[in-house]
Structure 1
Amino acid sequence: MTTNKIIFTTTKSVLTSLDDVFGKTTMQKSTTDNIGSTIKSDNTTARQENSTNMILALNLDEENINRLLKIENTFEAEALTPITVYLILLMITGVVGNTIVLYIYKFRFKRSTSRIFILSLAAFDLITCILGMPYHILDMLYPYLFVWDTLCKVLSFALTFTILASIFILDLIAIDRYRKICRPFKKQLSGIGSKIMSWVIVLIAIISAIPMLLIYGTAEVPTARNPNITGRECYVSDDYIESYFPLIYDAFTFLIFIVSVFILVGFYSKVGVTIWKRRKFNESSHESKRSGSSQSTPNTSIIQLNVITDEAKRGSPMLVHYGKNKEGGNVQIFDSNSLVTAPKDSPLPYRSTTSDPKKERKNRRVMRLMSEPSSTEHDSSIMDHGSSRSHKSSHRHHVTKKEKRTLRITGMLFVITIIFIISFLPYLCIQIVNGLNDEFWDEMSISEIILFNLLMRTYFINSMINPIIYWFLDHKFKEEVIRLFNDMRNCKATTRFGRKSFHS
C-alpha cells in the first residue's frame, strides 16, 4: 500500500509540473530519472514501472506529446548530422559528375554498346542522386516526424527501381564483355539491340519495384529515450507490419543480388582467363620471332587469331598455316582449332578434319579474314611487311589501339562492378540481421545508431564514384571533359571580350 501511495504522489506531482518539464529538456530528463530511482528504491517490480509510464503517457495531451516528439526528433537528427552532411556532399558530387558523363558520352562519343550501357548506368545514378539521396536526408532530418505518406511511397519506389536497374545493367554489361572478348566471332549485340535491352531492363526494374508502393509508408515508431511516445517514420507501413509480404519481398531482392553476383563473377572470370591466355600467346609468338623460328619472309602477312576456343581449352596445340593472299603475299595464321577447311578455289593447302556445319561456316569466315587482311574489324594483332609497309603499319596501329581500348573499357566496367558489390554488402548484412532480430535497433546506443545508419547507406557511394572512375580509367573521357571546360572558358572569354568591345 505504501508503494502505491508513493507512485500516485509522484505521478501527480509530475503531471502538475508538466509545463515546466517540457520547457527545458534537461529538467524533463532529470525528472524521469528521479521517478525511476524512486520506484526502484522501494523495490517495485518492472511491471509496476511500466504501468506508471503508461499512466504518464495516457495523461499527456496532444500538445505536450508533440513537444516531446520535437525534442526527441531534434536530438536524433543532431546526432545524425555527420551522415546528413555526408549524403549532401555525395548528392552534389553525383549530380554534377553524372550530368557530365551523360553529356560527354551522348554527344562526344561514337555509337557503341558500351557507350549505351554507360549512359544507362549514369542515368540511373543521376535519378538516385536526385530522388534517392534526398529521401534518406529527409529520413534523418525527421526520424520521428516523417508524416508524408505519399512522398515516402514514391521515393522508396524510385530508390528501389534505380538500384535494381543498376544491378540488371551490370549483368548485361558482363555478358556483353564476355561475348566481345571470349566469343568475338559470334553474333554480337548491336547498338539497336543494346538500346532495346536497356529499355527492357527499365521495364523489369519498374515491375520489380512496384511492391514498394504498397509495402512502404509512414509507420508508428517508438522514440529511443521514451518508448511509450511514438512518432512517424518512413518504413514498412502499419498495414503490412504484421504480414509476411515485406519479408518475402526482402528475400526476393536478396536473391536478385546473389544471382547477379554469381553472374558477374562467372563471366568476368572467363574474360580474365581469356585475356591472360592471349597475352601468354602474344609473348610466346614474339619470343619465337626474336629467336628466328618464324618462317615469314619479307612478303609474308601474319594474322594472329586471338580466339580461345573449346578445342584450345581441351589442350589442342596452336597450329600455324601458310598460304597466299589476294595480293600475292604469303599469309601465316595462328589458330587454336584443328586444321580448318578451305574453299575449293582457295590456293591454301588446308585439310578438312570436321564435318560440322557450324565449324565449316567458321572456317570460311577465317578464310575470308585471311584473304582480306586489310579489311578485318576483329580483335586481331596484325604485322605487315613489304612494299605497302606504311599503309599496313597504320592499319596495324589502328587495330592495336582498338583492342587496347576494348580491354581498358572492360577493366573500367569491372572496377565499377566490384565497387558496387562491396558497397552493397553492409546494407544487406544489416537487413538480414534486422529481419532475424526485431529488437535490433532498440538495443543500440546513440553511437551505434550513427555507425549503422552510415553502413546502411554505403551503396550511395556508387553514384558519386562512377564518374571518378571514368576520369581515371577512360583517357578519352578525360580528354573530352578537359576540352569541354576549355570550350566553356573560351566561350566565356569571348563573351566578355565582345561586351567590352561593344561598350567601347
Structure 2
Amino acid sequence: MDDETENLVVLVLLGIFSVTGSIGNALVIYIYSRKRDITTSSLFILTLAGTDLFTCLIIIPYNIVVLYLNYTLYYELPCKLYMFLITCNVPFSAFVMVAIAFDRYFCICHPFLHAITIPRAKIIVMIMGVFACILGIMTSLTHGIFSIIDPPSLNITINDVINSTMSSYISQKNVNDTILGNSSVTPSLSTVTIGINETVSSEPDVPEGYGPGMCAPSTEIFNNTVTYIYQKIYAGFYLISFLIVLILYGLIYRSIHIRRALKAKRKRSSLFPASPNEYSAVDTQMTVLNNGHEIAGKDADGQKKFRKKSLGLKEKVFYANIRTAAMLFIVTIVFLIAFLPSWLMAHDLVPFSKILFYMYFIYNVANPIIYAFMNTSFRDDLQAVFKRICNSK
C-alpha cells in the first residue's frame, strides 16, 4: 500500500471514529448524568466519557487536519497546541484506569473502609487532570516550527549555522513516538564548508516530503538531555499504570475467590442438620437473651426473615460491585490492547504501520459499546432514550 492510500485510509478511519465516538459518549454522559444515585464508579465512567467525547469532538478532527497537512502548520501556537492535546489526553485516560482499579479494590476487598468517596473521587480526578496537563505542556515546549535560514555570503562558523536553525527534522514517526514517550531530538545537518569571504554552501539533508513550517522536536527551550529524560519518565507512567492495575485486579480476583470458597463451605455445612442437644442449647441461649422468656413463633420467624433479607441485600451489593468491576476491567483491557501496537511501534519493537498506529483511537469509541453489552441498567436506559426519540417523531 502506497503512502497516499495509507493516509487516505487513516483519515477515513479517524473520521468514522470521530462521528461514532461523539454520538456514543454523548449518550453515556446523558444517561449517567441523569442517575439519581451517583456512585464513585459512575463518576469515573462520566470522567472517561467526557474525556472520550472531547477526544472525538476536538482531538481526532484536529489530528485529521494535521495529518492532511503533513504536520506543516507554519505557526508555533497550533503546533504546540497539537502536541499538548495528544500528549495530555492519553496519560489522563491511563490515570483514570488506575483510579478505577483502586475504587473497585476498596469497594470489593474493603467495603466498610469507604476510602474513596464522591468528594474524594472529584479531587482525585482534578489532580489527575492537572498532572496530565503538566505533561502536555512539557511536551509542547519540546516542539516548535521547523524553519530553514538561507545562509549569508560571509565568514561564519558551523555553530552559527546550527544555532540559526532548529536542531532536527520531523518525520511522521517522530511525532508518533512523542505521544507514547519515545521521541529523541538529534541534529541532522549536512557538511558545511567554510572559508574566508566564502559563501556557506550547505543544503540541509531534508527527507522527501518535509520542509519549512513543519511541527518538529525543538531544543529552543529544553536541550536534548532534558528532553530525553522527560520522555523516559513520560513513557514510564504507562508501565507503572499497567502494573498497578494488574496488581489491583489480581487482588480483587483473590478476594472474590476466597469469598466464594467460604460461601461454599458454609453451604456444605448447612446440609448437615444439628443434633437435638445442639437445638436445645440454642433454645436455652435464646431464652436467656430474652430475660427468661421464649420468643414467640412469629417474632422468631420475623428475625429470621430480617437476617435473610439483610444477608441477601449484602450479597446483592457485593455481586453488583463485581459486575461493575468486571465491566470496568474489560474497559481497561481494551485500553491496553488498543495502545499496545502503538507503544510497540514507538519503541521500535515492531515495524511501523500508520493504520495500526492510529487504531488506538478506537478505545475512545469502544467504551459505550462495552457499557451497552455488560450493563443491563445502561442498556435499558439506552432503549428508553431511543423509544422517546422515536415517539417524539
TM-score range for the pair, normalised by the shorter chain length: 0.7 to 0.9
Count of matched residue positions in the alignment of Structure 1 and Structure 2: 328
Letter in 1 for 2:210: T
Alignment-derived partner of residue 374 in structure 2? 473
Letter in 1 for 2:366: I
Deviation sequence 1:136-183 (CA, Å, 0-9, x none): 212321226443432221122122212111111111111121122222
Contact 2:331 2:367 (C-alpha < 8 Å) held by counterparts: yes
Match of 2:261 among 280, 299, 304: 280
Alignment-derived partner of residue 263 in structure 1? 244
Give the Cα–Cα distance (whole angstroms) in 2 for the partners of residues 171 and 325 of structure 1. 52
Change (3 A) 1:209 1:323: farther
What does 1:97-116 correspond to in 2, within 5 Å? Answer: 97-116=24-43
Alignment-derived partner of residue 187 in structure 2? none
Change (3 A) 1:161 1:324: farther
Contact 1:236 1:246 (C-alpha < 8 Å) held by counterparts: no
- TM-score, structure 1 length as denominator? 0.58
Contact 1:471 1:477 (C-alpha < 8 Å) held by counterparts: yes
Give the Cα–Cα distance (whole angstroms) in 2 for the partners of residues 294 and 429 of structure 1. 65
Alignment-derived partner of residue 345 in structure 2? 430
Change (3 A) 1:222 1:263: closer
What does 1:56-455 correspond to in 2, within 5 Å? Answer: 76-143=3-70, 145-219=72-146, 220-221=169-170, 227=207, 230-231=210-211, 232-237=213-218, 239=220, 243-292=224-273, 386-387=301-302, 393-433=308-348, 452-455=353-356
Give the Cα–Cα distance (whole angstroms) in 2 for the partners of residues 408 and 323 of structure 1. 40
Q: Comparing both chains, which one has the higher relative contact order based on Cα–Cα distances under 8 Å and sequence gaps of 6 or more?
A: 2
Give the Cα–Cα distance (whole angstroms) in 1 for the partners of residues 355 and 337 of structure 2. 15
Contact 1:127 1:162 (C-alpha < 8 Å) held by counterparts: no
Deviation sequence 1:273-302 (CA, Å, 0-9, x none): 11011111111211221233699979x9xx
Match of 1:458 among 352, 355, 359: 359
Contact 1:149 1:218 (C-alpha < 8 Å) held by counterparts: yes
Alpha-carbon offset, residue 242 of structure 1: 7.4
Give the Cα–Cα distance (whole angstroms) in 1 for the partners of residues 287 and 68 of structure 2. 73
Contact 1:416 1:469 (C-alpha < 8 Å) held by counterparts: yes
Give the Cα–Cα distance (whole angstroms) in 1 for the partners of residues 121 and 171 of structure 2. 48
> Which of the two has higher C-alpha Rg?
1
Give the Cα–Cα distance (whole angstroms) in 1 for the partners of residues 6 and 235 of structure 2. 30
Alpha-carbon offset, residue 415 of structure 1: 1.2
Give the Cα–Cα distance (whole angstroms) in 2 for the partners of residues 188 and 242 of structure 1. 42
Give the Cα–Cα distance (whole angstroms) in 1 for the partners of residues 110 and 44 of structure 2. 19
The CA RMSD over aligned residues, in Å, is 3.5
Deviation sequence 1:327-362 (CA, Å, 0-9, x none): 96xxxxxxxxxxxxxxxxxxxxxxxxxxxxxxxxxx
Q: Secondary structure at the match of 2:145?
A: strand
- 2:387 is the alignment partner of 1:489: no
Deviation sequence 1:360-417 (CA, Å, 0-9, x none): xxxxxxxxxxxxxxxxxxxxxxxx9823565555544433322221100011111111
Change (3 A) 1:105 1:326: farther
Alpha-carbon offset, residue 132 of structure 1: 2.2
Letter in 2 for 1:474: N
Give the Cα–Cα distance (whole angstroms) in 2 for the partners of residues 146 and 243 of structure 1. 23
Contact 1:129 1:463 (C-alpha < 8 Å) held by counterparts: yes
Give the Cα–Cα distance (whole angstroms) in 1 for the partners of residues 275 and 14 of structure 2. 60
Give the Cα–Cα distance (whole angstroms) in 2 for the partners of residues 96 and 410 of structure 1. 25
Alpha-carbon offset, residue 479 of structure 1: 1.0
Q: Secondary structure at the match of 1:456?
A: helix
Alpha-carbon offset, residue 475 of structure 1: 1.0
Change (3 A) 1:183 1:91: same
Give the Cα–Cα distance (whole angstroms) in 2 for the partners of residues 325 and 431 of structure 1. 74
Contact 1:222 1:228 (C-alpha < 8 Å) held by counterparts: no
Give the percent of matched residue pairs that are identical in Structure 1 and Structure 2: 27
